[in-house]
Structure 1
C-alpha cells in the first residue's frame, strides 16, 4: 500500500483534467484563472489525505485479506446517534471536514449556497462511511456522518468570513458553472471526488 503512489496518480489525472478545462474554457471564451487550478490541487491533496486517514478500502488490502481466506465485507455499524456522548474523536471529525466545506465554495460558485455544500458534505461522508464497511477494524458510525457534515458547514462559514477579507482572491478562484458549459466543466467538482476515490483504491 503506497499513499504516495495514489497521490501522484491523482495529481496526474487532475493535471490532465486541467488541460482539458483550459482548452474548453478558451473555446467558450470563459476564463478560468490560475488561482482556480492552484486551489484545485489543494482540494485533491485534501481528498487524498482524508481518504487515507479514514481508512478507505484499497485493492492492496483486499488482496491481502482474501489471501488469508477472509471476507472483505467487515461491517461494524453504530446507528444510534451519540450513545456514548461526544468524544474528542468527534471534535476531530468536525475539524477534519472543515477544509471540504471551505474549498468547495472557494472553487465553484454553486457551493456558495449553504445547502449545496451541506448536501455534498453529507454525500462525501456517506461515501467514506460506506467504504468503511469493507475495511477491517473500522466502524460505520452515524456520529461521524453528523459531525462530518457539521464540519463542512463550519468550513462554509469560515469561507464566507474569509471571502469578505480576501474578496479579490475569492473572485479569482471561483468558476461559475452554466448550462452552456462543456461536460468537463459541469462535472469538474464530481470528477475531483471520483479521481480521489479511484486513486485511493488503486494506490
Structure 2
C-alpha cells in the first residue's frame, strides 16, 4: 500500500537504465563539445578550426589510408565506441514506458542516434572550433547499431533463460 492507500504497481523495465542514459548523455556532450579537439580529420585540407565535411566516407577513407594508428583509434574507433552506450541504454530505458512485451524496435533507436549525432556535429561547427563531419554521423550511428545489437542479444538471453536483471 502506498501513502494514499492505493496499491502500487510493480515497476517494469530497468530502473537503472534511465540514470545511466542521463549520465552517459552528459558525458557525451562534454566529450564532444567541451573536451579535446583532434583537429580536422581531413589532414592538410582542414587544419582544425571551423571546418566541415559533407562527402560521405571521404575522411574515413583518408584516415584509414593515410592516418597513423593513433588517428585510426581516436577518430574512427572512438566515434563508433562513443555511441555504443546510446544504442544499448536507450532501448532498456524505453522498455519502462512500453505497454507490450515486444522488444524495442531498431529504427527508432537508429533514427534518434542519427539525430543526436547530427545535433552534436552542428553544434561543433557553430559553437566550437571543431570539424562538423558527415562521417562522424555515420560512425556514431554505426556505434548505436552495435549497442542496439548488444541490447537485443542480452534481452534475448534474459528472455530465454528467464533471468531477471531488474
Q: TM-score, normalised by structure 1?
A: 0.55
Whether the aligned pair in 1 keeps the contact of 2:33 and 2:128 (CA below 8 Å) is: no
Give, in angstroms, the shift of residue 124 of structure 1: 0.7
Give distance in 2, aligned partners of 1:154 and 1:47.
17
Give, in angstroms, the shift of residue 30 of structure 1: 5.5
CA RMSD of aligned residues (A): 2.6
Runs of 4+ in structure 1 off by over 6 angstroms are: none
Q: How many residues align?
A: 128
In the other structure, the counterpart of 1:32 is 11
Q: Secondary structure at the match of 1:32?
A: coil
Q: TM-score, normalised by structure 2?
A: 0.66
Higher Rg of the two aligned structures? 2
Whether the aligned pair in 1 keeps the contact of 2:53 and 2:132 (CA below 8 Å) is: yes
Equivalent residues in 2 for 1:1-203 (5 A)? 31-33=10-12, 36-55=14-33, 75-84=50-59, 85=61, 86=64, 87-88=72-73, 89-109=75-95, 112-167=104-159, 168-169=163-164, 172=166
Whether the aligned pair in 1 keeps the contact of 2:17 and 2:90 (CA below 8 Å) is: no
Q: Return 5+ residue gaps in structure 2 as ranges.
A: 1-5, 36-48, 65-71
Q: Return 5+ residue gaps in structure 1 as ranges.
A: 1-25, 58-73, 173-203
Whether the aligned pair in 2 keeps the contact of 1:56 and 1:128 (CA below 8 Å) is: no
